[in-house]
Structure 1
Amino acid sequence: MYLRWALRCLRSRRSSFYGGSAENLFLAARYGTLIRSNPSLLHSEVLGCRESLRCGSHGLHDLRYRVNEDENFGAEETVDPFSLVADELSTLADRLRSMVVAEVPKLASAAEYFFKMGVEGKRFRPTVLLLMASALDVPIPKTVIDGNLHMLPKEVRGRQQSIAEITEMIHVASLLHDDVLDDAETRRGISSLNFVMGNKLAVLAGDFLLSRACVALASLKNTEVVSLLATVVEHLVTGETMQMTTNSEKRCSMEYYLQKTYYKTASLISNSCKAIAILAGQTAEVSMLAYDYGRNLGLAFQLIDDVLDFTGTSASLGKGSLSDIRHGIVTAPILFAMEEFPQLRELIDRSFSEPEDVETALIYLGRSQGIQKTKELAQEHVNLAVNAIEALPETISENARISRRALVDLTKRVITRTK
C-alpha cells in the first residue's frame, strides 16, 4: 500500500497546498474565525511546500490528504464515506426506531415520523462520528489510561455508536422544533410533522426525542460526555433565541451571525466529535482536534446552506427557497452584499417586511460578491477542518487512514453539495 502511494505521488505533476489566500486570511481573521482558531496556519504555505518535497523521498507513511489534489490521484484515492459505515448506519436506523417507541401510539408515531419517512437523508452526522471513531485508532499514552479504558474495543465502539444515535435524536428534535417556530409546511420534500399533526404534537415529539437522548446519554456514565451533550442542547436554544431577539446592530454583525451559527449548527457535531475522542480515551489535545474538525465542518455546512437558500430549489433543499430572507433572517450572503451596498441596511432593519424588499435585496445580492465571499469563507473553514485531521497522531491502522481520508472527502462534499 505504501509503495502504491509513493508511485502515485511521484507520478503526480502537482500537489498543491490547500491554504487560504492573503485576502481570505484577512477576511476570516476580520471576523475572528481563522487566526484565533489556528495561528499556525500562517506558516502552512511553508509546510505545504515541505510536504511536496518529502512525498517523493521518505514520506511514505506521512502522506497528507489534500482536498484539491491532482485529479488522477484524487480519483484513485477517493472513498465513499457513507459506504464505509453502511452496516453500522443500518443498525443505527433500526435502533433509533426502537428507541422512540412510546406507550402512547400517537406520540410514538410522531417521534418516528422523520425516521420512518427517511427525511434524515444520508445521516451525515452519524457518518462523521463513526468515521471519527475509526480515525482515532491511535496509541493512547499511558498517562491517560485509567480503569475505564480496559474495555474491549467492541465495547468502546458500542459506546461511540451510542453517541451517534444520541446526536441524531437531538438533531431530529431540533428539526421538529424549528419547523414549528418557522411555520414550515415541508421538510425535504414531504409535509412537516407540525403541518400533518399540529404544532403541539410536533413540540411534544421533539421533547420526547430529547428525553430518550438523555436516557441513552446517562447510560454511558461519563460525566464529561454528559456535560458536552447537555451544553449542545443549551446552545441550540441559545442560538434560536439569538435569531429571534436580535437588534439592528447585531443583525448586521458577521461575528454575531457566526456565533449564532455555531450554536445552532456546529456545536452539535463539534462536541459530539469530541465526545467520540473522550470515549476512546484520547488525550485532551486529540479531543480538541476532533472538536476543531466538527466545528469547522459544521460552520462550512451552514454557510453553504445559506448560499443554497438563494441558489437552490425547494425540492432539493427541503424547505422553500428564500426561506430565511422571507422570515427576515439575515445570513452571510446578505451581510457580505451589504458591505458593497449599504442600502441593504434599511431593508434589514425592517426585516424585509415591505412588499418589494425581498426582490430588492436579491437585486443587490446579484450585483455583489455576497455569494462568492460566503463560499470563500466556507472554504476557509473546510481548510481548517482538513488541518485538524492532518494534525492527528500517526497511526499504523489502515482503517484509521482510510477513515481520515473519508473525513477529508466529506469536507469536499460539503462545499460542492447542491442540497
Structure 2
Amino acid sequence: MRIVIAGAGIGGLAAALSLHAAGFEDVTVHEAVPEIRPLGVGVNLLPHAVRELTELGLADRLAAIGVATAELAYFNRYGTPIWSEPRGLAAGYAWPQYSVHRGRLQLLLLEAVTERLGPHAVRTGSRITGPGDEDLLIGADGIHSAVRARLHPGEGPPPWNGLVLWRGTTYGEPFLTGRSMIMAGDGTQKFVAYPIETGGRTLINWIAERPLDGEAPDRGNWNRPADPAEIVRHFADWRFDWLDVPGVIAGAGAAYEYPMVDRDPLPRWTFGNVTLLGDAAHAMYPIGSNGASQAIIDARVLAHSLARGDLASYEEQRRPAATALQLSNRRMGPEVVMKLAHERAPGGFDDIEEIVPYAERAEIAASYKRTAGFDPASLNERPSWSVTRRFSPRPSPRPSPRPSGAHRPGASSG
C-alpha cells in the first residue's frame, strides 16, 4: 500500500512513524520547504500524546529534550491564585507531561522517521495539493492546508477572533516549582509562561495575549517578528512576587506575533483515498495545550484504523472528538476560570472560594480533560492503539466522489 503524507510537521511525521509501526512500508512524507529547520517556540505534550510517543519507542529521546511539567496554575492579573493542579505523573497519569521547543520536537521526529523509514522517506521542496497514484493521501499540511482547500474549496483565510498572541523565549530565574506552567489574566489580557529548558539556566517560553486594533496581518504565520518593547507596554504593571512579567518579555532575544485564528469544524475529512490530519483537519485556538497533542493522537488512530482495513473508522473516532474540542477552545476551555474570576471580582479578591467556588473550578478542569481525551482514569485504562499487522490492509472509505485533480504545485507546510 503506497501512502503519501503532505506536510512534515509534528502531525505528518508522527503519522509516518505510526504507519511504519503498524507495518506499512511504502510511506513518503512531502514537505514544501527546501529545508526543515527547528523553528517556533514552546509547545506542550499532554499525557495522552506522551503515551503515544512512548509506545512508538521515543520516551527516552523525548525526556532528553523536554521539561516534565509539575503543575498548571491560573492567576488573575494581580498574580492572585485562582486554580492549580498537578500535572503528569503527579496527577496520577501513567505518563508525564512535557514542555518542549517545537523545533526540537520536530527534529526528533524527523530523525526517527529517517532512521526507521530510510533517508529518502522525507522529501523536502516537494508540494502536494491533491491525489495522484498513491493508495492514500494524508493532508497534514497545516492551517493553510492545500489538500484541505481541494476537498473544501472556498473557505478563505482562517477566521480571526480579534486577539493577538505574542510569543517568545527568555532566559530567566525559575518560578514557583521550577517546572510550573502558569496563566495569568483579567478577561481581556493573558500571560502564559513555562520552562522549556532547565538546569544551569531556565529558558522560559512565554505568550502574551490581548485584543488587537485593526485587521490581523498574516493569519496563520507564526514567524512574523514583533518588538518586545511594544509588547511590554501592555503588561508594564504585571509584576508579581514570583514573576516579573514585563522583565520576562523585555528579556526576549526575539518575539513573534500571531493573530489568534482557527478553522471552522468540517462536516467531513475523508474523500475517497484522501483524508486530513492535525491542523489541516481541525486547527484550533491554542487553548489547553492541545494542538500538537491532538495531531499525534490523529496519527495513531489513523494507523490503527488502516491496519484493520477500515479508514472510515479513523474519521468516526476523531472528527467528533476534535470538533468538540475546537468548540470548547472557542469558549476558552479551562482558561474560562480567569474570565469568571475577573467578571465576578474585577478589582481582585482575597478568597477565590467566595468568587469561584472549588466545585465549579474543579468541574471546569475535569470537563475539559474529558473533552480533550486526557481524563486520567480513562487514559490509563484505554487499550493501546499499537497494532501488529497480520494481513495486507486496504482502506475502506465510505463511497464518495473523488476530488478532481492530481499532484500539482501548491502550498504545503508542516
Q: What TM-score range do you get, normalising by the shorter chain?
A: under 0.3
Whichever of the two has the greater Rg, that structure is 1
Q: Which structure: greater strand fraction?
A: 2
Name the structure, 1 or 2, with higher relative contact order (CA <8 Å, separation 6+). 2
Q: TM-score, normalization: structure 2?
A: 0.23
Give the number of the structure whose residues are more often helix, by fraction.
1
